[in-house]
Amino acid sequence: MAHTTPDNASMEQVRELLMGTQLKDMENRIQRQEERFMQEIADLRDTVKNRVESLENFMKSEASSLLHRLQEEKTERATAIKNEQRERAESLKAEHKDRVDAMKQDKRERDDAVAQLNKDLAKKEEDFERKLTTLSSTLDTAEQQLRQLLLAESARLSATTEEKYKEALSALARTAAQLRHDLVSRSALSALFTENAVTLAGDLTIAEGEGSPTKTTSGTDKAAVAGS
């Protein structure tokens, strides 16, 4: 032993006394064997320690590699999820943009259609106003021409009526004059007939005294004169 106590010293003395050198040699051999065992144990401990350290390093390396792979996989999955989310978001955004653009386009087309309709209506209204103005002017002109024509026709009819009236008056005057002339002629003729009748009547009165044949003839002549 490297360090001895008083008890150990006493025991050594007893051993030396009892067993002598043989015991001491055996003890030395046991001590060397123990030292060799201790060295082997130490070597084994070192070997186990080295192996454990190697195993720990391997496990750490494997764990680190596994963690790295897991981290990479997690990162890849997260990236894939982010990419998918981004793609979905971009797709939704694009779809929303397309819808908004379509709505804007539809609204723009509707606004253009409404504007075109208003423009067409304004043009048609302007054309209608122009046609109405033209028609009104035409009607005014036609009315003036018709009024002038009516005035001219009225004047012509008045002149014609006046002329016809004058002609009628002239005809009436001529007719009246002719009638007066005829009346005078008839009066003269009647007076002549009356005078002849008186003369004949006187002759017949004279003849009655001379004979009946004469009376008969006179009666016949009287009838003839009356018939005339």
Residues 6+ apart with CB under 8 A from 61: none
Whole-number pLDDT of residue 2: 45
175 domain-assigned: no
Q: Got the DSSP string for 72-94?
A: HHHHHHHHHHHHHHHHHHHHHHH
212 domain-assigned: yes
pLDDT digit string (tens) for 169-179?
A: 887 788 777 77
Paired tokens of 171? 């005809």
166 domain-assigned: no
Range of the domain at 207: 183-227
Question: Could you give the residue ranges of the DSSP H alpha helices within the chain?
Answer: 6-18, 20-208, 212-227
Number of folded domains in the chain? 1
Distance CA 201, CA 222 (A): 8
Burial class (CB in 10 A: 0-12, 13-18, 19+), 222: middle
45 domain-assigned: no
Whole-number pLDDT of residue 14: 63
Per residue, the 3-state secondary structure of 92-130, as one string, reads: HHHHHHHHHHHHHHHHHHHHHHHHHHHHHHHHHHHHHHH
Handedness of CA 194, 196, 197, 198 (dihedral sign): positive
115 domain-assigned: no
Answer for the pair 50, 57: CB distance below 8 angstroms, yes or no.
no
Residues 6+ apart with CB under 8 A from 4: 12
Taking 50 as the pLDDT cut, the residues of the chain under it are: 1-2, 212-228
201 domain-assigned: yes
How far is CA 112 from each of CA 100, 106, 125, 183, 224, rounded to the nearest angstrom? 18, 10, 19, 100, 116
What would you report as the CA-atom Rg of the chain, rounded to the nearest whole angstrom? Answer: 86
167 domain-assigned: no
pLDDT digit string (tens) for 139-166?
A: 888 888 888 888 888 888 888 888 887 8
